[in-house]
Amino acid sequence: RLCIVMCCDFFPLLVGVEMPMRSLSQCLLCGGHNVIVITYAVPGPKVRVAPTAPPTPHSARGRALHDKLYYLPVMHLLDIVTYMTFVGHLALFRAIRVSEQVRIVHGHQATSTLMHESLDLGVKTVYTDHSLFGFVDAASVLLNKIINFLVFSMNTAIGISHTCR
């Protein structure tokens, strides 16, 4: 029985990559594993994460799709987009890893800072690549190069689309 963390920058929004994450979490729970979701506390009235979102990381038990949910207090740049860092939340992530005995981290977004910080701690990391980025403009080409670099850093990578295979 493993403790698996699902890193998601946009939870609980149910768009794009969050739906496969929910499905995978359900399968892992049915298999007897512990599933923890780590996400960011979302500011403002647009998205209600919890009736009262505390300013410190906390967990909420009893959810149907995971055992625990941690909201991290992270500064947002625009809407729900956070700044890119590889060590910014390392202390928070390490505290969760130690207290929950996390063995595997799974991420669905190439730009997820939470997933990248798990690599700094030496946690086994699984990355699911959806490759929804194009090849037309310079920003997309740059992001694809970053994804190539990151995939080689992961323990396991899962390719969904033909582009990433």
For the stretch 121-134, pLDDT in tens is 888 988 887 666 66
Smallest CA-to-CA distance from 7 within 109, 157, 119 is with 109
For the stretch 34-63, pLDDT in tens is 998 887 776 554 443 433 333 344 444 444
CB count within 10 Å of CB 31 equals 11
For strand 124-129 and strand 156-159, is the pairing parallel, antiparallel, or unpaired? parallel
User: Does the N-terminal peptide bond of residue 73 adopt cis geometry, omega within 30 degrees of 0?
Assistant: no
Which domains can be identified in the chain, with CATH numbers?
3-159 (3.40.50.2000)
pLDDT of residue 48: 39
For the stretch 149-160, pLDDT in tens is 777 778 887 777
Whether residue 36 contacts residue 25, with contact meaning beta carbons closer than 8 Å, is answered with no
